[in-house]
Chains A and B, each alone.
Chain A
Amino acid sequence: AIRMTQSPSSFSASTGDRVTITCRASQGISSYLAWYQQKPGKAPKLLIYAASTLQSGVPSRFSGSGSGTDFTLTISCLQSEDFATYYCQQYYSYPPLTFGGGTKVEIK
């Protein structure tokens, strides 16, 4: 199974900050990577697929990049509603589909 490792596992940031979350795959996955946002008590929400394609309705302050084994999710100007946990997921090799361990973005 392909292991997905996210870093950091959590961090604090302020509204207006530019933040970057990293996801690393244990082997190359081309661009078969999705990012999700999850708020407490809610289901995950798809943000980005194919590593860099924004899901319809997702604000343009979210962006994704990378291919192969290293990927990043960037929020260009953090808003209050962006404080959440973010997960990456590979869909290059399956089964199993695998998720990263999550990155929690907290208010500083």
Chain B
Amino acid sequence: QITLKESGPTLVKPTQTLTLTCTFSGFSLSTSGVGVGWIRQPPGKALEWLALIYWNDDKRYSPSLKSRLTITKDTSKNQVVLTMTNMDPVDTATYYCAHPRESMYYFDYWGQGTLVTVSS
């Protein structure tokens, strides 16, 4: 059974760096074809894909946010970490981590999400 859970701060100040951790179970990021992605959703708005990391450490980012994002994995801990620099109030959103179907790019399992508010 695949599960994912996001953790991190609920409140960050403008210009600060956000660090979110996705802890997962039921699969391994050392297995070929496996990845973990991040998607966010501002309150009342649509979903926005942010980043994906794969078993081979291949990383893909949203072009519009690439300069601010870093995604890393810790295979031994079954964790994926997303950092986003220079946070702004418009980055207020629920951040989800999700498991893409093996070797595909749609998401079959999602974490519950974590709401991050950016405010001074």
Interface residues of A (CB under 8 A from B): 1, 32, 34, 36, 42-46, 49, 55, 87, 89, 91, 94-102
Q: Give the residue among B49, B62, B106 with the most A Cβ atoms within 10 A.
A: B106
Cα A32 to Cα B105 with chains together (Å)? 9
Hey, which chain A residues are within 8 Å of B49, CB to CB? 95-99
B6: nearest chain-A partner, CB-CB: A43
Q: Contacting A49 at CB < 8 Å: which of B62, B104, B113? A: B104
Cα A44 to Cα B113 with chains together (Å)? 10
Cα A16 to Cα B111 with chains together (Å)? 31
B48 at interface, CB cutoff 8 A: yes
Sample 30 A-B pairs with CB under 8 A, ordered by A number: A34-B107, A36-B107, A43-B96, A43-B98, A43-B110, A43-B112, A44-B47, A44-B110, A46-B108, A49-B101, A49-B104, A49-B106, A55-B108, A87-B46, A87-B47, A89-B106, A91-B104, A91-B105, A91-B106, A94-B105, A95-B60, A95-B63, A96-B49, A96-B62, A97-B37, A97-B49, A97-B105, A99-B46, A99-B47, A102-B46
Interface residues of B (CB under 8 A from A): 37, 46-49, 52, 60-64, 96, 98, 101, 104-108, 110-113
